[in-house]
Amino acid sequence: MEPHELTVAEASQLIREGKLTPTRLLDSILKRIDALEPTLAAWVTLA
Contact call for residues 17 and 11 (beta carbons, < 8 A): no
Whether the pTM exceeds 0.85: the reply is no
Q: Max alpha carbon distance in the chain (Å)? A: 35
Q: Where are the domains of the chain?
A: 3-40
Amino acid at 23: T
Q: What pLDDT score does 46 carry?
A: 67
Angle between helix 8-16 and 22-40 (nearest 10): 150
Give per-residue pLDDT as tens, 17-39: 999 999 999 999 999 999 998 89
